[in-house]
Structure 1
């Protein structure tokens, strides 16, 4: 049709030919320096090392922590006693009696109990709400007759061991990142020094041109 203006076709999309930002150091190009390839090898080596070392470190730390806390729990079971104690005062009432929160809530109350030496002692224990003075509860005491926490349970042992395993894994990953950062900084400084040396040799010849 008259008056129509033909348009050149759009240029082909070559974005698929562009190297990934993390892989450009592996592709041949005139701007790639030996230090770029070295940095790529460092990154690959550290990545492989972290992939291998992180699970091993997590497993070793988790096993060691589990053995430690299992031994602690066994020691606590041998040295702690679950003894009856009598409330000296009433326990405060929960604002919502019978609610799930009330069943989980505990209040500090003075209690009277018999120590391992046979003497009557008093201490503070966390007990459920709504109890009156004279009620009997059970408390954990250590070898000295002091009210303490119950021995570590299986769930606590697992959670603490898992926490140490996660910390070990993160430590290996952060160490790998730190090593890569330090290596990259050293290579960058080396590149800057090389550029200064090359420019010092090139600048006199460059400045002769008008």
Structure 2
């Protein structure tokens, strides 16, 4: 609002420089872009991301099959990993030798991660396989896909707002540098004796 008032006030002011008007219009255009374009871009990004992620959810649910794994025996865990990013996921699961039935009704065996805290022989747990019976990750669900889409939209909106404001600041910096350059030329033209008695000023 101050920008619009500033534009109106500068219309016929005799002290107005051309760059003052450019600066006021720049602020107004930036405000309009941030208020209008940023939300539209954020919502569009979120919508497109959600559609793509929900399509991925559908494909994963078509290609991944739930199976019941039966623990044959527990496998000793490897030595502790000092990297907290990789060790935290592993610490929540235990490695077991398990048997499960593939979608083609054949029995499969292998070492897998189970969510059982203290697995014993004969315990059952849920796992996911592809159409060939290989163990794969759990398919993405709709709520997670929507959350990721919203975060993508917010990220796109924030990045766009940052780019717009960064462009405004860069243009404003160039305007101010131009003002300083013109002021330096004016001082050079006036000379070092400007304002002294008898110099014609």
* Both proteins in one fold, TM over 0.5: yes
The Cα offsets for residues 62-117 of structure 1, whole Å up to 9 and x where unpaired, read as: 1111111111011101111111211133599xxxxxxxxxxxx9422222223456
How do 1:57-136 residues align onto structure 2 when only pairs under 5 Å count?
A: 57-90=41-74, 106-110=92-96, 111-116=98-103, 118=106, 120-136=108-124
Aligned residue in 1 for 2:86: none
| Residue 20 of structure 2 is aligned to residue 36 of structure 1 | yes
Aligned with 1:184 (options 172, 177, 180): 172
1:66 and 1:23 map into 2 onto residues whose CA distance is 38
1:24 and 1:75 map into 2 onto residues whose CA distance is 55
The Cα offsets for residues 4-62 of structure 1, whole Å up to 9 and x where unpaired, read as: xxxxxxxxxxxxxxxx8x89965567865331332121011111111111111111101
Unmatched 5+ stretches in structure 2: 77-90
Q: 4+ residue runs of structure 1 moved beyond 6 angstroms?
A: none
Shift of 1:203: 1.4
| Contact 1:123-1:147 at 8 Å conserved across structures | no
How do 1:136-151 residues align onto structure 2 when only pairs under 5 Å count?
A: 136-151=124-139
| Residue 179 of structure 2 is aligned to residue 195 of structure 1 | no
TM-score, normalising length: structure 1 = 0.72
What is the RMSD of the two structures over their aligned residues, measured on CA atoms? Answer: 2.9
TM-score, normalising length: structure 2 = 0.75
1:129 and 1:52 map into 2 onto residues whose CA distance is 52
Aligned length: 178
| Contact 1:87-1:134 at 8 Å conserved across structures | yes
Unmatched 5+ stretches in structure 1: 1-19, 93-104
1:87 is paired with a residue of what secondary structure? strand
